[in-house]
Chain A
Amino acid sequence: MNMSEHSVSIRDLTLDYGNTRVLENLNLDIEQGEFIVLLGPSGCGKSTLLNCIAGLMDISDGQIHIDNRNVTWEEPKDRGIGMVFQSYALYPQMTVEKNLSFGLKVAGYKKDEIQRRVARAAEILQMEELLQRKPVELSGGQRQRVAIGRALVREAKVFLFDEPLSNLDAKLRSDLRVEIKRLHQRLKNTMIYVTHDQIEALTLANRIAIMKDGVIQQLADPHTIYNKPVNLYVAGFIGSPSMNFFQGTLQTGDETCFVTDSGTHIPTSSYQFARASSDSCSAVLGIRPEHIIAGEGARGMPFSTRVEIEIVEPMGSNTLVWTRVADQAVTFSCDSDQLLAPGQSIDIGFDPARGSLFDAESTLRL
């Protein structure tokens, strides 16, 4: 076992706030140069985990290794990290330049070295002309760029981002998202990024860690997270519009088949089971709205049916359609050029192989 390869390694981390346990026995190994996104609902402990890595919080148990050093007892400044906060956290009475150089001055760097680093950060983030302004004179996006710059000048091995874009409007957010991705490709250092925006997670991450109640549910690349969620929670959390779920039973025999509670048979012979299960059990079948095909192509699918359209929601690039299958509300998306109206009947179908089956009791993937 070679543990010394990791850029950041969190081992058996436990953290209590007084009597409430926020993180319990959390393990996470991050490779050099990896972009890890911590994704989860509000209050699941993402910021807490990030603060522990940064050393801003005293942990209750466990170890934190950064760049092959045990930094569990080290001060934030000695950990080789830079951090960007949601509220920018710029020093309001200092100019941008002073904001960038403050940490370097405190650390006692020489003047020309400070100047070199500030100039480089300003060049990378294209904010040379902002250097003499105060934070109040900047827009939200510019402020966040300065905050990123403050982490840049530290030339740290590991960057920590705590929801850096969530105070920005949608347009700026997508602009800065690309900029962060570009930054990562240029610098190639390890980045740990907290968000509860799944688009950010899916677009930026090498690997995503889905968290719930202080526990990492699944740690995998975006494709796997999206297509092969390990449990019901991850399946429902990722994807917008969210996955359709059918309650039913998985019948094993010569051919496995999923039977919904209302008696509809959905053949699952093409499904790749994660675990061999011998007995029939109650199960949940999840299928993403994007994986349901409507119109002519539907007939060729392993499962197809004719449904009546209830609601049509045009979303621009595609259209979300609400209908009912096997007595359950189902949404599917189709091309926005297709003219659909409520009340109209349409053929839809899907391949269960693209869906996910979960054990109804343990909620784990089958």
Chain B
Amino acid sequence: MTLVVNNVVPGASGRVLEGPCGPRKSQLSIARLGIYGFLIMAALFFLMPFWVMIVTSLKTLPEIREGNLFNWPSDPTFEPWIKAWFSACTGRDCNGLQPGFWNSVKITAIATVVSITIAAINGYALSFWRYRYANLVFGILVFGAFVPYQVVIYPLIITMRELGIFSTLLSIVLVHSIFGMPILTLLYRNFFASLPMEMFKAARIDGAGFWQIFFRIMIPMAVPITIVAIILQLTGIWNDFLFGTVFAGRQNMPMTVQLNNIVQTTTGVREYNVHMAATILTAAVPLIVYFISGKWFVRGIAAGAVKG
């Protein structure tokens, strides 16, 4: 064994290198400890209610009445979950959350695809095909992003009624698509505007037209921004309550509205365990999206950071 005195080590070249050498050793400083401490506290703060919801949903009603809010159930049961999904009652119907879930899937899927498709085309046209009123159109769209929903709901209801599509799947999809448009168009326009104009010109010289440039050059590059758009729309539309209540109608009631109806039903005892299970089920989709997307998000951004 070589004798190492006073942090003086013979280097590869035979020279003796004194003082700091090589990569810096990472240290757990006080500031870092503080940050971790804060993060752990914040996580606990938000996880606590979630913990309560989970344990409550697994308890029987008598056990809930005992009041030990944080305890793990003595005899865990999935009965409340099954009830929430298949047979919880909203008024006279006792079909559980299940129909609402499928309604939400339909609404979210269609509206997400429709709004993203149109917004991508919009953003592309606005940044590359600078037609005459492009700036005006863009200005109106941006303005649209700041209009509070409540202001337009009543006129929209009347419009839908006149069109004869009020309380249909079409109307709720339409409303979500329209309201997603400003922010998504903004997103895509800014993304496309950050691409070099010269690439677009090169494609034009290569003979590609409006759609060929869009599908073969722009869309493959827009993958990261599309992932962002999908996350925005998926969670936004799934979590929506207001439009669902107003426009969807009984047939297409989304999961959030149905959850509310289940929780608000006042006949008989309040089944806290079923309510908790129903709430977790409703929140599950955005939660899963967030969990999965975190990874994809980073991957998508990294893959997209390709400047030719």
Q: Which residues of chain A have a CB within 8 Å of any CB of chain B?
A: 51, 54, 56, 75-77, 81-83, 85-93, 102-103, 106-107, 134-136, 143, 147, 150, 154, 162
Contacts and interface: CB of A to CB of B under 8 A. Distances in A.
B204 A91 contact: no
A143 B205 contact: no
B34 interface: no
Contacts of A135: 306, 308
Contacts of B181: none
Nearest to B221: A93
Nearest to B202: A89
B208 A83 contact: no
Contact of B308 (A54, A56, A136, A154): A136
B302 to A, nearest CB: 12
Given A92-B307, A93-B220, A76 B205 contact: yes
Given A86-B198, A92-B221, A93-B220, A76 B204 contact: yes
A87 B202 CA distance: 11
B306 A82 contact: no
B161 interface: no
B163 to A, nearest CB: 39
A75 B207 CA distance: 8
Interface of B: 196, 198-199, 201-208, 212, 216-217, 220-221, 306-308
A102 B206 contact: yes
Given A89-B198, A136-B306, A106 B204 contact: no
Query: Across chains A and B, which 5 residue pairs bring their CB atoms closest together, nearest first?
Result: A103-B206, A77-B207, A92-B308, A89-B198, A90-B308
A106 B308 contact: no
8 contacts: A77-B206, A83-B205, A85-B202, A89-B202, A89-B308, A91-B217, A93-B217, A150-B202
Contacts of A88: 308
Contacts of A89: 196, 198-199, 201-202, 308
A307 B306 CA distance: 58
Given A93-B220, A103-B207, A87 B306 contact: no
B85 to A, nearest CB: 43
A135 B199 CA distance: 13
Contacts of A76: 201, 204-205, 207
A111 B220 CA distance: 23
A56 B204 contact: yes
A103 B306 contact: no
A103 B208 CA distance: 7
A106 B202 contact: no
Nearest to B217: A91
Given A85-B201, A106-B206, A162-B198, 6 more contacts: A54-B201, A83-B205, A89-B198, A102-B206, A103-B207, A147-B202
B201 A56 contact: yes
Contacts of B206: 77, 102-103, 106, 150, 154
A173 to B, nearest CB: 19
A64 to B, nearest CB: 15
A131 to B, nearest CB: 16
Contacts of B208: 102-103, 106
A143 B217 CA distance: 18
Contacts of B203: 91, 102
A87 B196 contact: yes
User: Which one of B207, B208, B220, B306 has the greatest number of beta carbons of chain A within 10 Å?
Assistant: B207
A85 B308 contact: no
A143 B216 CA distance: 20
B205 A103 contact: yes
Nearest to A56: B201
A296 B260 CA distance: 103
A106 B207 contact: yes
A54 B306 contact: no
A90 B217 CA distance: 10
A91 B306 contact: no
A93 B306 contact: yes
A135 B216 CA distance: 16
Contacts of B199: 87, 89-91
A86 B202 CA distance: 11
A82 B204 CA distance: 11
User: Which one of A82, A92, A106 has the greatest number of beta carbons of chain B within 10 Å?
Assistant: A92
A135 B307 CA distance: 8
A255 to B, nearest CB: 57
Contact of A77 (B196, B198, B205): B205
A83 B212 contact: no
Contacts of B212: 106
Nearest to B306: A92
A252 to B, nearest CB: 54
